Amino acid sequence: MKSVKVLLLLGAMTLAACQPTEPALGPDGKPLPQVYKITSKEAGLIPLRVQESMNSLRAVRGTAPVVLNPQLNAAAQAHAQDMAAQNRAWHWGSDGSSMLDRGRRAGYPGQVIGENISETYETEIETLSAWMAVVDTRDVILNPAATQMGFGWYQEPSGKIWWTMVTGN
């Protein structure tokens, strides 16, 4: 009986060793993207990770941190869902609304000052990194006038994610 267990263990280890350890590559030689599925467990952590990462980026520049705001979260969430319904990433709502309109509609008492959007299969941190690589979206993240932020998303069954970040003061 002991030898059967040893043989099974050795067989399992052999099969495990046969699994590819490198990611599959596309025709361009780059790793193929993996679909990032947002679980209910992850959903609650995403805004906190973005806030923490954003505040780290702001700290390097000597800019004060931002806090999450529930009304801005609601405005960001509504816009992410609306972009998915429109099937295009842009700053206008299907009803012609702007980020200012959506902030007011969500009950935000302050001034909405910036919005970043994205349509991707990447994680929230990869998206934040992509925003930092572009001057206009980086300026929204690092704007010293921003004291609050909201973050929302909508994930389609295909895995595509529509991200929205809204800043205000």
Upper half-sphere CA count for residue 159 (Cβ side, 13 Å): 8
Q: Which amino acid is at 159?
A: G
CA distances from 46 to 90, 97, 107, 144 (A): 22, 26, 22, 23
Tally the residues of the chain: 169
3-state DSSP assignment of residue 78 = helix
pTM assigned to the model: 0.79
45-72 pLDDT, tens per residue? 999 999 999 999 999 999 999 999 999 9
Which of helix, strand or coil describes residue 115? strand
The per-residue pLDDT for 29 is 84
